[in-house]
Amino acid sequence: MTGKRDNSGFTVIELLVVVSIIAIVISLIVGAATNAQARGMEVATRGDLEAIQLAVNEYREQTGSWPTGAGERLINNMLALPACGKILATLSDGAREGRDAFDNTITFSSTGGRGGTPVVRSNGRDTKSGTADDLTSGDQ
């Protein structure tokens, strides 16, 4: 016998490289899916805020005053008027309870927007008020 080795298998280094590449690809896919989910939640929240803003304006037209409260109390105050109830029927389940898709309380300020205009607000993804990811009615 001449002592020939069979070199048909993979080396440990080759296997580690393949496993590393697979791990990188999986982390990219998971990151993209998480980001897409957060964007979907943001879109849902924006739609709910716009519907609540419409109901707020309708409430003002019907009663001559702005609705009071935040979260579920704000929604319930507006549901007392049938016209507002029809608008609010389009809300997601969480928004009917005064919560956005990120589980923040939805708030309303009659002078909180630019130029003192009424605004419905969510604290957004980071759940902190006054940060760049806050969502307000009228935002694009």
**Model confidence pLDDT, tens digit, residues 116-128:** 678 888 888 888 8
Measure CA 130 to chain center: 16
> Is the pLDDT higher at 6 or at 66?
66
Residue 69 within a domain: yes
CB 43 within 8 A of CB 56: no
Largest CA distance in the chain: 102
- What value does the mean pLDDT take over residues 16-38? 90
Residue 27 CB burial class (10 angstroms; 0-12, 13-18, ≥19): exposed
Residue 4 within a domain: no
Residue 7 within a domain: no
The pLDDT of residue 35 is above 90 = no
- As beta bridge partners, residue 139 has none
Domains in the chain, number: 1
When mean pLDDT is compared across 5-9, 40-44, 53-57, 89-93, the lowest value belongs to 5-9
Tens of pLDDT, residues 92-116: 888 888 888 888 888 888 776 565 6
- What are the Cα distances from residue 27, in Å, to 18, 23, 24, 32, 67? 14, 6, 5, 9, 46
Residue 3 within a domain: no
Domain that holds residue 100: 16-136
> Is the pLDDT higher at 3 or at 104?
104
CB 127 within 8 A of CB 66: no
Residue 123 within a domain: yes
- What are the Cα distances from residue 53, in Å, to 22, 76, 89, 117, 126? 47, 14, 13, 11, 22
